[in-house]
Amino acid sequence: MNKGTLLVLSGSSGVGKGTIIAQVLEKRPELYLSVSCTTRAPRPGEVDGVNYYFISREEFQTRIERGEFLEYAEYVGNYYGTSMTVIREKLEKGVDVLLEIEVQGAAKVRERMPEAVSVFIVPPSFEELAQRLRGRGTDSEEKIQKRLETARREAKEIKNYDYIVVNDTVDHAAQEVLAILTAQGCRTERRIHEIEGV
Amino acid sequence: MNKGTLLVLSGSSGVGKGTIIAQVLEKRPELYLSVSCTTRAPRPGEVDGVNYYFISREEFQTRIERGEFLEYAEYVGNYYGTSMTVIREKLEKGVDVLLEIEVQGAAKVRERMPEAVSVFIVPPSFEELAQRLRGRGTDSEEKIQKRLETARREAKEIKNYDYIVVNDTVDHAAQEVLAILTAQGCRTERRIHEIEGV
């Protein structure tokens, strides 16, 4: 039985990860999108169990103590964490898992699951990113500046990722993420057990 | 300036490499298909400078002495070789290069250019391969048996390749080769120099 691929996806806030992931899932509905737990408040339209599991700070801390998280991190004042059990089950069944996660979390996942494949999504430029954040209209200018600072800091971590995808258009970026997943499924260590006479 | 990818493609005789490559080139006409030199006689329909450079045994040996080949090998009584100069020029210009080559040659290319990415194309089964070879109608049964033996021997080398593509349908196989090329173009070491703030 071949294991699935764990695809770790990071990218600056506002770069369009959500839209890219939605398109990837549309093309490959058999993928499992890992749902993180968070203590931050839901944004308008976000659904519990779909975008995140929204849980209290207290509940989050209990789960930390139980060792339930593959990784967790505090980010802009809130906890974000990834439950390990479900991911491992899916991978064992040969299902590819998509995990959207910020850079600190990704570093921890790479440490604990070195077989994970990681992708960093970048905007065409920081200027473009600033425009997109302003266009979203959900953040104050101060918050936007803070996000841009974070983006510049995070850019230093890109070298630790396996792949870089530039979100010039959603179609193009989604197509590249899909190609990375397809290529990963063709890797010799993944496929060799199915091959006759090897 | 980012370098191109050298994609090394091997597969058993009769597996359909030519058809897959034709489809890949149709979708990505900017690819450069490396043309090998050989001392074997052209098959019906094969064109000098397109399928191979068909040269004499004497000429081939002169080029060996001059060190012009990235690799060369004798195979079923004929020489096959890859000229190094053109490939290096294309890669330096950022052009992806496709190199169809048998397993011994591929091993030498990997040795001399470890950055090459290698793909082995397999038939769905050996039985299917035998049927395809018979269907081609160009070889005697004895020759077909010899090719099948070679295919079984070559299967032992698959583990040295980066990727395996199963030629169940040409469309599907070509799509996987294209995905491998696209993914390769997204690799961090390839793209990081274009990224702002890294």
A-B contacts at Cβ under 8 angstroms: 108
How much is the pLDDT for A172? 96
Residue A197 has pLDDT above 80, yes or no: no
Q: Rounded to an integer, what distance in angstroms lies between the CA atom of residue A79 and that of residue B178? A: 40
Q: Residues of chain A with pLDDT > 70: what percent?
A: 99
- Residue B59 tokens, joined: 């000429």
How much is the pLDDT for A33? 94
How much is the pLDDT for A198? 72
Listed range (A148-157, A189-198, B96-105, B183-192) with the worst mean pLDDT: A189-198
How much is the pLDDT for B58? 96
CB contact residues (below 8 A), chain A span 128-157, against chain B: 151-152, 155-156
Q: For A94, left (φ over 0), alpha (ψ -120 to 50), or beta?
A: left
Q: How confident is the model at residue A189 (pLDDT cuts 50, 70, 90)?
A: very high
How much is the pLDDT for B1? 52
Which chain A positions have a beta carbon within 8 Å of B126's beta carbon? 196-197
Q: Rounded to an integer, what distance in angstroms lies between the CA atom of residue A8 and that of residue B198? A: 20
Q: Are A9 and A122 in contact (CB under 8 A)?
A: no
**Contact assignment for A188 to B156 by CB distance below 8 Å:** no
Q: Measure A49 CA to nearest chain B CA, in Å.
A: 31
Exposed, middle or buried: residue A71 (CB in 10 Å: 0-12, 13-18, 19+)? Answer: buried
**Contact assignment for B164 to A192 by CB distance below 8 Å:** yes
How much is the pLDDT for B133? 84
B108-B110-B114-B118 Cα dihedral, nearest 10 degrees: 160
Tell me, what DSSP letter sits at residue A48?
A: B
CB contact residues (below 8 A), chain B span 170-189, against chain A: 175-176, 178-180, 182-184, 186-188
Q: Are A122 and A166 in contact (CB under 8 A)?
A: yes
A38 sits in which H/E element: strand A36-38
Q: Residues of chain A with pLDDT > 90: what percent?
A: 58
Exposed, middle or buried: residue A44 (CB in 10 Å: 0-12, 13-18, 19+)? Answer: exposed
Segment A66-113, tens digit of pLDDT: 888 988 988 889 998 998 878 988 999 999 999 998 898 899 899 989
Name the residue among A158, A182, A194 with its Cβ closest to that of B179: A182
Q: Measure B85 CA to nearest chain A CA, in Å.
A: 29
Q: For tokens 């396996």, what's the residue?
A: A162
Contacts 24+ apart (CB under 8 A), B112-115: B112/B70, B112/B71, B113/B6, B113/B70, B115/B3, B115/B6
Name the residue among B159, B179, B188 with its Cβ closest to that of A183: B179
Helix axes B17-27, B170-186, angle to 10 degrees: 50
How much is the pLDDT for B33? 93
How much is the pLDDT for A105? 86
How much is the pLDDT for A114? 92
Assign B161 to helix, strand or coil: coil
**Contact assignment for B186 to A163 by CB distance below 8 Å:** yes
Q: Rounded to an integer, what distance in angstroms lies between the CA atom of residue A178 and that of residue A23? A: 10
Which chain B positions have a beta carbon within 8 Å of A163's beta carbon? 183, 186-188, 191
Segment B76-118, tens digit of pLDDT: 899 989 988 789 889 999 999 999 988 988 998 999 899 999 9
How much is the pLDDT for B2? 66
Q: How confident is the model at residue A1 (pLDDT cuts 50, 70, 90)?
A: low
Neighbours of A66 (CB within 10 A): 8
* Strands across the sheet containing A117-122: A32-33, A97-100, A6-11, A117-122, A163-166
Helix axes A170-186, A17-27, angle to 10 degrees: 50
Residue A2 has pLDDT above 70, yes or no: no
Give A123-175 as a DSSP string.
-S-HHHHHHHHHHH--S-HHHHHHHHHHHHHHHTTGGGSSEEEE-SSHHHHHH
Q: Measure B187 CA to nearest chain A CA, in Å.
A: 4
**Contact assignment for B195 to A156 by CB distance below 8 Å:** no
Which chain A positions have a beta carbon within 8 Å of B196's beta carbon? 122, 125-126, 155
Assign B49 to helix, strand or coil: coil
Closest CA to B190 of A23, A20, A101, A176: A176
How much is the pLDDT for B119? 98
Q: Measure B118 CA to nearest chain A CA, in Å.
A: 10
A85 sits in which H/E element: helix A84-92
Residues of chain B with pLDDT under 50: none
At A186, give phi and psi (nearest 5°): -90, -5
How much is the pLDDT for B73? 85
Residue A31 has pLDDT above 90, yes or no: yes
**Contact assignment for A188 to B162 by CB distance below 8 Å:** yes
Handedness of CA A124, A178, A19, B26 (dihedral sign): positive
- Residue B198 tokens, joined: 């890294």
Closest CA to B13 of B165, B122, B110, B141: B122
